[in-house]
Amino acid sequence: MPDNDELTDGARFQSEVAAPVHVSKLKGAGALDWGMQSRLARVFRPATNRTVMLAIDHGYFQGPTTGLERVDLSIVPLLPYADALMTTRGMVRSTIPPTCGAPIVLRASGGPSVLKELSNEQIAVAMDDALRLDAAAVAVQVFIGGEFETQSIRNMTQLVDEGQRAGVPVLAVTAVGRELTRDARYLRLAVRICAELGAHVVKTYYCADGFDTVTASCPVPVVMAGGRKLPELDALTMAYRAIEGGAAGVDMGRNVFQSDHPDAMIRAIRAVVHESVKPEHAYDEFVRPAVQGH
Ligand code: 5RP
């Protein structure tokens, strides 16, 4: 039934005020559907359009990795500092408190262990289970140049199709086999293929020469993978340079949870990523006091 005239006040229509237009400033996200943009805004802090993702999904192919033996003890206390947590559905349901507030980037591919050919992955999570877990995104490994390259790309495109239907973004993780060189030429190839085939975010390694060309030629946000454990200042420097080179954040694991001071380390990474604090300053503010026992 229409309102009676006396129930509305003409002034409330504020005809002279234009309605705001909300356009995502996240790279490549402006034309995505609302649910997709909303989920991406949970992972990428809207104030900076950057993210500090904590990756703890290593167990899905290599078992209880050093630092992840007891996720309840080593990782749960770090969650307040993570913009998102990249993990498996088994770890989410068994160990991550539903009240923690950290958006989940759900590992959705898997299959082989470290004892087998790693590129031989399949999709390991149905999209309806990702939705049931309130995942902010799903993550899939893509092995460009790997033995099962096409199969891994097929995993990704299938998740993209399902993600488009459900409003769930897909993070493509460019996995680099031992035999492949992590140079800008390879990373440009891998990252661009993932974006062209529909990934909404791509995770890749940092390279010292030409990382800016990797991010510039990728039409969606690139987040930097951490890789093997480095001395803390070196890891902070790598993160800083990746951000300077156009990365929209980091998705780091071992350089956080294998540090002797994971709490200080993730706080230092946040300062580097969100405030562009120089790595030496972030080290001095967060890590050095922890090392000195303050
Ligand atoms: C495994 C992954 C991991 O999430 C990630 O690369 C591990 O993080 P880190 O290298 O920083 O320990 O995608 O292939």
**Domain of 78: which CATH number?**
3.20.20.70
10: in domain: no
What pLDDT was estimated at residue 4?
61
- Total domains in the chain come to 1
283: in domain: no
- How close are the terminal C-alpha atoms of the chain, in Å? 67
230: in domain: no
97: in domain: yes
114: in domain: yes
Probe residue for ligand 1, chosen from 109, 173, 176 as the CB with the greatest number of ligand atoms within 8 Å: 173
Nearest to 41 by CA among 248, 263, 272, 256: 248
What predicted TM-score, i.e. pTM, was given to this entire model? 0.95
List, for residues 57-111, the tens digit of each pLDDT value: 999 999 999 999 999 999 999 999 999 999 999 999 999 999 999 999 999 999 9
Task: Report how far ligand 1's centroid is from the alpha carbon of 114 (Å).
Answer: 14
65: in domain: yes
Catalytic residue numbers? 203
Task: Report how far ligand 1's centroid is from the alpha carbon of 166 (Å).
Answer: 26
169: in domain: yes
Q: Where are the beta strands (DSSP E) in the chain?
A: 51-55, 84-87, 104-107, 109-110, 122-123, 137-142, 170-174, 201-204, 222-225, 249-252
Does residue 168 have its Cβ closer than 6 Å to ligand 1? no
Which numbered atom of ligand 1 lies nearest the CA of 86? 4
Does residue 57 have its Cβ closer than 6 Å to ligand 1? yes
What pLDDT was estimated at residue 22?
87
List, for residues 109-133, the tens digit of each pLDDT value: 999 989 998 999 999 999 999 999 9
188: in domain: yes
166: containing domain: 28-223
Does residue 226 have its Cβ closer than 6 Å to ligand 1? yes
Which numbered atom of ligand 1 lies nearest the CA of 252? 11
